[in-house]
Amino acid sequence: MTERISHWPGIELSAADLLEGKVTQTRFRPNAKYAWAAGEAMSRFLEELQNGRLIARTCHGCDRILFPPRMFCEECFRPTDAWTYIRDTGTIETFSISYLDTDARRISEPILVGVVSLDGASPKMGMMHYFGDMTKDEIRIGMRVKASWKPREERQGSVLDIRYFRPLREGEG
Amino acid sequence: MKKVGVIGAGMTLFRRRLQETGKEMCFEAAKMALESAGLTRADVDMVVNGTAPDAFDGVHMKGEYLLDGCGGYRKPYTRVFTGGGTGVFSSIAGWWHVASGLADVVLVVNEEKMSSCQPHPQSVFAHIWDPILDRPLKPNLIWIFAMEMNRYMHVYGVKKEDIARVAVKNKRNAVGHPCAQLADPNITVDDVLNSEVLAWPVQRLDISPPSDGASAVVLASEDFIRRRRIKDRAWISGVGWCIDSTMWTDRDLHFPEYVARAAKQAYKMAKISDPKRQIDFAEPYDPFDYKELHHLEGLLLAKKGEAPVLTREGVTERDGDLPVCPSGGLLGVGNPIAATMGMKIGEVFWQLTGQAGKRQIPHEVHTGVSQAWGDLMQYGCVMVMSS
């Protein structure tokens, strides 16, 4: 490489070269839309979210309570066995304090987001969600939290039926 | 199984935006790799292309789109894709074409053109998330890294300044790389710690940049290498790859078990029983600074939680006992996802054949390992090469 090669190909452009049309270019805006059938496991999961409950599947092969629920166990590679409710309380496994939105644009009020392992599921099994009713200085790994549900009439069968997970209060199980 | 060697490598500049199309970049990198091996397209039996999500280029069937630039016209040609893992995986695919005896010479060409996607390639990263469980939360890709980094720091009590040392080392190492996008001879740990907070604990200088670029390598059988009396070659002595479940919220993120499994597969094949003693240098995947540490542990080159200590003690510097990312890595050279093959497979080849110029490790090295990582914190692939 390096010593033997005198020319490294590539012509650099600046953002302005593209945005101000200084280089020959062509543009296209795709208009792709999707509707996913949620499938067996996720349909029941979303239905139960509307009821304000979290549901899992049990596997008798590995004796795990699988959350998010699935119709087959990836470990035992056999169908899972039964539905079971788990609790809407859990533990923060990890989190981030995000100053970026989904398109990497800067936001001034940070999003608190992370993974909650849920009580009643097998260890370390949980979901990604937002955190609320706590500041960026209060949030910590190991914090005990509980789902803050939207009012029943606003729930639509989506993970957003949970607004966020908030700190577990004294006396709450 | 036939013995396979890397006999040539090439790459374009890595930049935030290049004028060349994907096809043109592929052509430039492929031509450079062939010329460095003293071959032409007529010598090539089969071609492998590696490139990451179609959505960056905005062209579906991107493998077919890039075909002509890859030199694959009217030849057995395959595109492979394992997310960020493609940076090493396409060479593994090239290896099995030759190891199986099907081909004598395989050209591997990797490409990424991330600048086409407006306003920022982040927007299409949103499409890698589960549509039911994750996407309603409008995730940003950096969240993955922030959550994994935080878990890693928490479990092992790792300090941010020890992680920042990786960014400093790699951006300084990249100063000797002719293609580097973000080389910086003067960067300090404080610069990293004072850079903009994007998604805590991830700050701006913890991250490799999105880039345009292409890279290529030429692989050949031992018979061909001897017949053509090719002197600059590095032997592929072990390969491994492994993927974990998409259910990423069901595993503890502090340790990349899938990387360890891929490494064990590669080490077994390379007859490496004590990687810390038998491997001289490493090019682990470093899209973020903590990932280099995470992957050194996954590669069994450091105990769990020990990689930050090795970094602080200078062991992973270019002149240390275990040089890590002597190329400058993704943090310094750039991160055109699949095209990072130039710093992984390409760099190990250049180091083992003494062609790395200003980046040459000052002591003698015989065995190097490269590794790439991708998908939803799932995919690890590993290649061991020896002189």
How do residues B283-292 score in pLDDT, each as one tens digit? 999 999 999 9
Say whether A17 and B25 touch across the interface (CB within 8 A). Answer: no
Q: Which residue ranges make up each domain of chain B?
A: 4-118+209-386
pLDDT above 90: residue B101? yes
Tell me the pLDDT tens digit for each residue of B58-90: 888 999 999 999 999 999 999 999 999 999 999
Residue B138 with chain A: CB contacts under 8 Å: 101-102
In this structure, the number of other CB atoms found within 10 A of the CB of residue A72 comes to 15
Residue A140 lies in a domain: yes
Token representation of residue B198 = 């994007």
- A32-58 tens-digit pLDDT: 899 999 999 999 999 999 999 999 999
Shortest CB distance from A10 goes to which of B18, B150, B350? B18
Where would I find the H helices in chain B?
22-37, 54-57, 62-66, 86-99, 122-125, 141-156, 160-173, 189-193, 222-227, 257-269, 275-278, 289-298, 307-312, 329-333, 341-352
Q: Cα-flanking dihedrals φ and ψ of residue B158, to 5°?
A: -80, 135
B114 touches A at CB < 8 Å: no
Cβ of B28 under 8 Å from any chain A Cβ? yes
Paired with A92 in beta bridges are: A116
- Structural domain contains residue A139: yes
| Average pLDDT score, chain A | 94
pLDDT at A3: 63
Mutation site, B195, B211, B250, interface A, largest A CB count within 10 A = B250
Q: Which amino acid, B203?
A: Q
Which candidate, B344, B306, B311, places its Cα nearest to that of B328?
A: B344
Is the pLDDT reported for residue A1 higher than 60? no
Position B119 scores a pLDDT of 81
Chain CA centroid to CA A40, Å: 20
Q: Does B175 touch chain A (CB under 8 A)?
A: no
Cα–Cα distance between B303 and A50 in angstroms, integer?
46
> Is A4 inside any structural domain?
no
pLDDT at residue A173 is higher than 80: no
Average pLDDT over residues B97-105: 98
**Entry pTM:** 0.96
What is the structure's pLDDT at A110?
Answer: 96
In a domain, A12, yes or no: no
Q: Is residue A6 part of a domain?
A: no
Mean pLDDT, rounded, for B42-53: 96
Q: How far apart are CA B116 and CA B113, in angstroms?
A: 7
Question: Quick one: pLDDT at residue B126?
Answer: 80
**Measuring CA to CA, which residue among A93, A127, A126, A96 is closest to residue A111?**
A96
Give the pLDDT of residue B377. 85
- The residue among A19 and B10 whose pLDDT is bigger is B10
Q: Do A2 and B119 make contact, defined as CB atoms within 8 angstroms?
A: no
B32 vs A contacts (CB less than 8 Å): 5, 9
The 10s digit of each residue's pLDDT in B131-152 is: 999 999 999 889 989 999 999 9
Which residue from A3, A97, A113 is facing B137, i.e. has the nearest CB? A113
pLDDT over 70 (residue B104): yes
Q: Check residue B82 and give its pLDDT.
A: 94
Q: What length is written for chain A?
A: 173
Size of interface A-B (CB pairs under 8 A): 180
* CB-CB neighbors (< 8 A) of A98 in chain B: 140, 142-143, 146, 198-200
pLDDT at B121 over 90: no
Per-residue confidence band for A30, with pLDDT thresholds at 50, 70 and 90: confident
Domain enclosing residue A94, as ranges: 39-167
| Mean pLDDT value of segment B116-131 | 84
**Residue holding tokens 């914190």?**
B377
pLDDT at B122 over 90: no
pLDDT: is A5 or B79 the higher one? B79
Which helix (H) or strand (E) covers residue A19, if one does? helix A15-19
Residue A5 is predicted with a pLDDT of 79
In this prediction, residues A101-106 reach a mean pLDDT of 82
Across the interface, do B17 and A10 touch by the CB < 8 Å criterion?
A: no
Dihedral sign from CA coordinates of B133, B139, B140, B144: negative
- The answer to whether the Cβ–Cβ distance between A96 and B146 falls below 8 Å is yes
State the complex-level ipTM: 0.94
Q: Does B153 touch chain A (CB under 8 A)?
A: no
Is 90 exceeded by the pLDDT of residue A104? no
Q: So what's the pLDDT on residue B70?
A: 98
| Mean of pLDDT over chain B | 96
B17 vs A contacts (CB less than 8 Å): 12-15, 17-18
Is A32 inside a domain boundary? no
Q: For the residues B39-44, what does the mean pLDDT come to?
A: 98
Which token pair is A47? 């239905």
Q: Do A9 and B20 touch (CB under 8 A)?
A: yes
| Residue A66 pLDDT > 90 | yes
Q: Is residue A18 part of a domain?
A: no
The whole-number pLDDT of residue A145 equals 98
Q: Which of A1, A91, A106 to mutate to test the interface with B (most CBs of B within 10 A)?
A: A1
Q: For B18, which of A12, A34, A68 is closest by C-beta distance?
A: A12
Tokens of A161: 């039926």
Counting the structural domains of chain A, the total is 1
Q: Which CATH superfamily is domain B4-118+209-386 in?
A: Thiolase/Chalcone synthase (3.40.47.10)
- Distance between first and last Cα of chain B: 19
Partners of A95 on chain B (C-beta within 8 Å) are 147, 150
Per-residue pLDDT band for A2 (boundaries 50, 70, 90) equals: low
Q: Which of B12, B58, B122 sits opposite A8 (nearest CB)?
A: B12
The answer to whether position A82 is within a domain reads: yes
Q: Which residues of B are less than 8 Å from A160 in CB distance?
A: 136-137
pLDDT tens track for B187-229:
999 999 999 999 999 999 999 989 999 999 999 999 999 999 9
Q: Coil, strand, or helix at residue B328?
A: coil
Higher pLDDT, A18 or B10: B10
Q: What are the tokens at A66? A: 């699988």
The answer to whether residue B25 neighbours chain A at the CB level (below 8 Å) is yes
